[in-house]
Amino acid sequence: MQAAHSIWSVCSSKKILGWIPNVIFVLLTIALVAAQSQKPAVPKTKSRLATAIDLTLEKGHESTLPPHISTLLGISHGKEVPIKQAIEMGEPIKGFEVSTDEHHNVVVFVENRTAKETTFYLTSRAGTLRKVLSVREGTGYSRQPTKDDVESFRKEKQLWVDRLVPKKP
């Protein structure tokens, strides 16, 4: 009991008692701010691109990405990659392909048969352009995306998102 008596005798000082309301106010403010910052996150709605990817995996045509293309894109080492795809035949031929093994590997391509040129855009579920591959007359080379590549990719990606997941009125 002696220890308790000495604590209270120190606290009885007017100087210390004057600080107690301020300390309590600061602690309550900190607790309130901490409680507000821990509100549950609002669940994000799935992007239209993610929905297009899921629909392609569910309803797309089965095919394979050839070993030389998948190797140049950096998603395999000399092996075919099984994919599901949506294709638009015509001139040019356009495609939207999703790896069935690794759903984060998404390839959008445009094949111009007249010019004997195909451009492949490797992207992800988030829609970020990861790599560009050009194949001209059978020879492929990957390159750093140029400003024109980024713009062409954006347009092609949007074309597929609009076709596969039309906006609701």
In single-letter form, the type of residue at position 46 comes to K
pLDDT in tens, the chain (169 residues): 455 454 444 455 555 556 566 656 555 556 655 656 555 554 467 899 999 999 999 999 999 999 999 999 999 999 999 999 999 999 999 999 999 999 999 999 999 999 999 999 999 999 999 999 999 988 898 888 999 999 999 999 999 999 999 988 7
Residue 33 confidence (pLDDT):
57
Smallest Cα–Cα separation from 129: which of 99, 151, 160? 151
- Is residue 31 domain-shared with residue 91, that is, in the same domain? no
Residue 82 confidence (pLDDT):
97
Residue 142 confidence (pLDDT):
86
**Residues 63, 75, 96, 88: what is their CA dihedral angle, to the nearest 10 degrees?**
-60
Three-class SS state of 81: strand
Residue 59 confidence (pLDDT):
97
C-alpha to C-alpha distances, 40 to 35, 44, 69, 70, 93, nearest whole angstrom: 11, 12, 43, 41, 46
Residue 118 confidence (pLDDT):
96
Q: Where are the beta strands (DSSP E) in the chain?
A: 61-65, 81-88, 93-99, 106-112, 117-123, 131-136, 139-143
Residue 19 confidence (pLDDT):
55
Residue 134 confidence (pLDDT):
95
Q: Is 13 inside a domain boundary?
A: yes
- Is residue 149 domain-shared with residue 89, that is, in the same domain? yes
Residue 144 confidence (pLDDT):
84
Contacts by 42-48, CB closer than 8 A, 24 or more apart? 47/127, 48/161, 48/165, 48/167
- Is residue 23 domain-shared with residue 65, that is, in the same domain? no
Residue 167 confidence (pLDDT):
86
Q: How many CB atoms are closer than 10 A to CB 46?
A: 12
Q: Is 10 inside a domain boundary?
A: yes
Three-class SS state of 41: coil
Smallest Cα–Cα separation from 163: which of 48, 46, 65, 44? 48
**What is the residue range of 29's domain?**
2-37
Per the structure, the count of domains in the chain is 2
